Amino acid sequence: MAANKRTKHSNMAAVRDMEVKVADISRVDMAVKVLLEDTRTADILRDMRRRLLQITLVILRDTEQLQRLTDTLADTTAEHPADTARLR
């Protein structure tokens, strides 16, 4: 009878230990899921940043081209004031 009681207590302790281990594994699993989500979010943000930089470069190039065209137009207007007046 005493052996049965010790076995029962031992089994109950083993069950509690397993429950604690399962809870620990669940917490680790959740932490891993959060880290994976953070990693995915970071990847998405890096991709968005890269795209924004590409768009910014295109805008800068377009701005430079527009400035060159504006300068050319201003030079042409200064060189040919009679033609410019006639176009108005």
> What are the extents of the domains in the chain?
2-87
Task: List Cα–Cα distances, 80 to 10, 40, 74, 84, in angstroms.
Answer: 104, 60, 10, 6
The pLDDT value recorded for residue 61 is: 94
Record the pTM: 0.52
Q: How much is the average pLDDT of 7-20?
A: 84
The pLDDT value recorded for residue 11 is: 82
